[in-house]
Chains A and B, each alone.
Chain A
Amino acid sequence: AQSVTQPDIHITVSEGASLELRCNYSYGATPYLFWYVQSPGQGLQLLLKYFSGDTLVQGIKGFEAEFKRSQSSFNLRKPSVHWSDAAEYFCAVGAGDYKLSFGAGTTVTVRA
């Protein structure tokens, strides 16, 4: 069975600064990896996904993530954070069977 660990429960970052959210997964085969964002009281919005190919993937809202098989990681990055990026971010792993396992989430606070 697959599992996901997001080591950081809460991150505070200044507006305009860079952001990196960590995600480590456990899965025996090639994983299908996703990052979702959730604003308070809302559903999950897909930021980006990795299935195969180029290990650096670009997503919406200026986010990117890099898949590193050797480290079992799929970290999310953004070069310059905007106040509207304050939200909770979830990393998820799937086996291609439409059943996702999610991490516990990382809450991002953006200070002015």
Chain B
Amino acid sequence: KAGVTQTPRYLIKTRGQQVTLSCSPISGHRSVSWYQQTPGQGLQFLFEYFSETQRNKGNFPGRFSGRQFSNSRSEMNVSTLELGDSALYLCASSPGTDSGNTIYFGEGSWLTVV
């Protein structure tokens, strides 16, 4: 069974641009969540989607948004990039139908903003 797949793995953007990151969950998983990892703030929850609906949201500005498609694939978008958005963005998936389900992470997308 393939794991959580994220694309692209590495990207460099300029301040003010926008970026879209993609995530394909484990087959059969309907919950997809996103996390930001930085040296200063550690791992922080961005949002979680289930059946194309956002169920949970972390404390990030509106520049960070996401969506989920009917096949459970998800994208996150960051608009008006700032230097501080440079981070590893991790996608995670879970079956999502019972509380406490195990959450599996992908390899992440490394975003550098210059």
A residues bordering B, Cβ < 8 Å?
32, 34, 36, 42-46, 49, 51-52, 90, 92, 94, 96-105
Give A67 to B55 CA distance when docked, in angstroms: 28
A36 touches B48 (CB 8 A): no
Across the interface, B42 reaches (CB within 8 A) one of A44, A49, A102, namely A102
Q: CB-nearest residue of chain B relative to A43?
A: B107
Inter-chain residue pair count (beta carbon < 8 A)? 61
A100 touches B100 (CB 8 A): no
A43 touches B90 (CB 8 A): yes
Q: CB-nearest residue of chain A relative to B101?
A: A98
Main secondary structure of the interface of A (DSSP, over half): loop
**Contacts of A92 on B, CB cut-off 8 Å?**
43
**Contacts of B58 on A, CB cut-off 8 Å?**
99
B31 close to A (CB within 8 Å): yes
**Contacts of A96 on B, CB cut-off 8 Å?**
99-100
Distance from A61 Cβ to chain B, minimum over Cβ atoms (Å): 16
A94 touches B90 (CB 8 A): no
Distance from B54 Cβ to chain A, minimum over Cβ atoms (Å): 11
A46 touches B104 (CB 8 A): yes
Supply 29 A–B pairs (Cβ within 8 Å), ascending by A: A36-B105, A42-B107, A43-B4, A44-B90, A44-B92, A44-B105, A45-B105, A46-B103, A46-B105, A49-B102, A52-B100, A90-B43, A92-B43, A96-B99, A97-B99, A98-B31, A98-B48, A98-B56, A99-B48, A99-B58, A100-B35, A100-B45, A100-B103, A101-B45, A102-B42, A102-B43, A102-B44, A103-B42, A104-B42
